[in-house]
Structure 1
Amino acid sequence: MIRTVFRWLIAVFYAFAGYAHIADPAPFLLITPGWVPIPEAVIFWTGIAELLGAAALVQWKSLPLRRAGAIGLALYAVCVFPANIHHFALDMARPDGGMGLGYHIPRMFAQPLIIWLTLWSGGVTDWPFRRRS
């Protein structure tokens, strides 16, 4: 039951983020590292990936699709981590400190947790709650 609740929460989170990437890409473009090619297209397609992953994650009849969605979203979160670090560095370089350490430090720690929670709620891993046989 708790796994299902978290799976839906993660799906809603990613669906909202995917919509935001498509509807208003400007904030995401500001934190995209300069080495990313064609940033407008990358932001658009990351939004599509988030929406598709969220839809796959809420599948109740197709465990393989749900797991694929969880793996895809976890890999996505790993891939966007450099943008989070870039955003952190940009903010800390601003005279006013941008969003500040109170935002960025928890965000840095939350990223691995979100990756694990996506994999766990999607049924990819049971760690650290291994079921006993």
Structure 2
Amino acid sequence: MVKIFFKYLLGIFFIFAGRNHFANPEFYLPLIPDYLPFLDLINSVSGIFEMLLGLGILFKKYSKMAAWGIIVLLLLFIPSHIYFIQIGACVENGLCVPKWVAWIRLLLIHPILIFWAYIFTKNKSYGK
């Protein structure tokens, strides 16, 4: 029962995070490394994949594949976390945190999210 709760929590987290890429793109765009092209496209594609993978993890048929997709997506987000640290953990008129918080996000929270998704890559099925 606890694993089902955490599976649904993970799915809902990613669905809302993905939706937020469209509701609040000005939050995400400055966090995308400026050396990458097509920032708007990267933001939109990230949001779409977050929503699709969050939804996918909720269904037994797709949950293992979605969990692996979440892991890949989180790995692809690492350059953004590093970039945020490089620019001083502060975006003008946007997210601004102490640098140590950005490091905690990269070195602790991000791996926890990856591990959380990894739990659902196992052959056991949780939920519907």
With the shorter chain as reference, the TM-score category is 0.7 to 0.9
Instruction: Kindly indicate whether the alpha-carbon contact (under 8 Å) linking 2:21 and 2:47 is maintained by their aligned counterparts in 1.
Output: yes
**Which range moved further: 74-83 or 84-93?**
84-93
Name the TM-score, length of structure 2 as normaliser: 0.83
Whether 2:42 is the aligned partner of 1:42: answer yes
Range with bigger deviation, 48-57 or 107-116: 107-116
Counterpart in the other structure of 1:105:
103
Report the CA distance between 1:87 and its aligned residue.
Answer: 1.0
Q: What CA distance in whole angstroms lies between the structure 2 residues aligned with 1:74 and 1:103? A: 22
Counterpart AA for 1:28: Y
Deviation at 1:111, TM superposition (A): 0.6
Identity of aligned residues (%): 20
Question: Does residue 1:77 correspond to 2:74, yes or no?
Answer: yes
CA drift of 1:100 comes to 0.3
Match of 1:91, SS?
Answer: coil
Deviations 1:38-77 (A, max 9, x none): 01011001100000001100014x1xx1111111111000
After TM superposition, the runs of 4+ consecutive aligned structure 1 residues lying more than 4 A away are none
Q: Does the CA-based 8 Å contact 2:57-2:66 persist in structure 1? A: yes
Q: How far apart, in 2, do the equivalents of 1:15 and 1:93 lie?
A: 26
The AA in structure 1 aligned to 2:2 is: I
- Cα distance in structure 1, aligned partners of 2:7 and 2:37: 32
Partner of 2:25: 25
Q: Does 1:119 align with 2:113?
A: no
- The equivalent of 1:130 in structure 2 is none
- 2:126 alignment partner in structure 1: none
TM-score by length of 1: 0.80
Change (3 A) 1:102 1:37: same
Q: Is the 8 A contact 2:89 2:102 kept in 1?
A: no
- Residues 59-117 of structure 1: per-residue CA shift (max 9 Å, x gap): 14x1xx111111111100000111011112213578xxx30035213211111110111
Report the structure number with the largest CA radius of gyration: 1
Residue 57 of structure 1 corresponds to which residue in structure 2?
Answer: 57
Q: Alpha carbon RMSD of aligned pairs, Å?
A: 1.8
Unaligned runs of 5+ in 1: 127-133
